[in-house]
């Protein structure tokens, strides 16, 4: 928490790799621990798939990406944004829901419905890379901070300066009906955040050695599903722009050059 940065009492940080400035007045550790509780509750409630083979694949992609990300940041002598992550993976048995997400701190869920669109290992890796990117770039912290700023303004910041995070959460909930966890994690991300997650997700896939062009095919398949009766939930939380595919295509050569596959993964 610092004074003066961004001209307010809010604290600022930058997103890893893209170095975009962010206003984040929640400590990431607080968001991560709240996300861990929410994830535990979700796991209890959700119907988990019996498909051990696909879960194993998800864990395999995730653990390779985890190593690649940490290796990348340490090779650049940069702070590893995932160093306090406690990675976890679940496959939700729900063929009707085409969705996947990664909560802050590396808590991942893939719904069986999205497997119709991911189709193969590289497709799944591109979805997971994108979701992990939202977490690594602290988009939920940013969203939670923005919601608080919008809804309650500086009075909350004052309370935060006293360090009473839990009390603040209750206060915020009582006075505004806003649950910081809800707004931080499950609201759609902004277009800027989506673009950043596309870019970082491709970088993570590239470091890990997955096929980036499958990312293009994936978005094409997603668009096809969108024409059906039940548009993918993934698209409601990931508003897509018309030029998303062409943008991804134009980034690929540079990303492969700047984020080459890391050895021994
Ligand atoms: Zn997204």
Q: What is the pLDDT of residues 1-36, one digit of tens each?
A: 333 344 444 567 888 998 888 877 667 887 788 788
DSSP 189: P
Distance 189 CA to ligand 1 centre (A): 7
When the pLDDT of each residue in the chain is averaged and rounded to a whole number, the result is: 81
- What is the distance in A from the centroid of ligand 1 to the CA of 236? 10
Q: Cα(11) to centroid of ligand 1, in Å?
A: 24
- The domain segmentation of the chain, as residue ranges, is 29-138+188-258
Going by the DSSP 8-state scheme, the letter that residue 229 receives in this structure is S
Q: Which residues neighbour ligand 1 (ion) by CB within 5 Å?
A: 194, 197, 238
Least confident of 72-76, 158-162, 180-184, 210-214: 158-162
Q: Distance (Å, rounded) from C-alpha 66 to C-alpha 204?
A: 9
pLDDT of residue 40: 85
CA atoms of 74 and 72, how far apart (whole Å)? 6
Residue 164 Cα to ligand 1 midpoint, Å, equals: 31
Cβ-Cβ contacts under 8 Å for 153 (sequence gap 6 or more): none
Going from the Cα of 100 to the center of ligand 1, the distance in angstroms, rounded, reads 9
Residue 245 sits at the vertex; the CA angle it makes with 217 and 114, to the nearest 5 degrees, is 45
Q: What is the pLDDT of residues 111-147, one digit of tens each?
A: 999 999 999 999 999 999 999 999 999 887 787 666 6
* Biggest CA-to-CA distance, the chain: 52
Distance of CA 93 to the CA centre of its chain: 21
Residue positions annotated with a catalytic role: 131
Structure tokens at 14: 């930058």
What is the length of the chain?
Answer: 265
Distance from C-alpha of 109 to C-alpha of 102, rounded to nearest angstrom: 6
Q: 182-186, 200-204, 244-248: which has the highest mean pLDDT?
A: 200-204
pTM for the model stands at 0.83
């Amino acid at each position: 928490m610092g004074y003066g940065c961004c001209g307010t009492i809010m604290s600022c940080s930058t997103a890893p790799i893209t170095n975009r400035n962010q206003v984040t007045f929640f400590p990431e550790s607080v968001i991560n621990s709240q996300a861990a509780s929410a994830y535990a509750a979700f796991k209890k409630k959700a119907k988990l798939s019996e498909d051990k083979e696909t879960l194993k694949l998800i864990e395999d992609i995730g653990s390779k990406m985890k190593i690649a990300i940490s290796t990348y940041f340490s090779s650049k002598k940069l702070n590893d944004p995932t160093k306090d992550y406690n990675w976890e993976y679940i496959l939700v048995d729900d063929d009707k829901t085409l969705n996947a997400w990664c909560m802050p701190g590396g808590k991942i869920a893939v719904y069986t419905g999205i497997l119709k669109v991911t189709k193969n290992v590289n497709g799944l890796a591109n979805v997971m890379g994108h979701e992990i990117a939202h977490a690594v770039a602290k988009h939920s912290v940013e969203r939670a901070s923005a919601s608080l700023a919008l809804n309650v303004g500086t009075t909350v910041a004052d309370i935060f300066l006293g360090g009473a995070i839990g009390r603040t959460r209750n206060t915020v909930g009582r006075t505004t009906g806003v649950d910081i966890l809800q707004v931080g994690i499950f609201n759609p991300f902004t277009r800027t955040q989506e673009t950043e997650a596309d870019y970082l997700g491709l970088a993570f896939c590239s470091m890990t050695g997955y096929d980036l062009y499958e990312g293009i095919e994936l978005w094409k398949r997603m668009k096809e599903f969108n024409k059906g009766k039940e548009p993918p939930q993934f698209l409601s939380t990931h508003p897509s722009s018309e030029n998303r595919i062409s943008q991804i295509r134009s980034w690929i050569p540079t990303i492969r050059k700047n984020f080459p596959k890391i050895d021994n993964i």
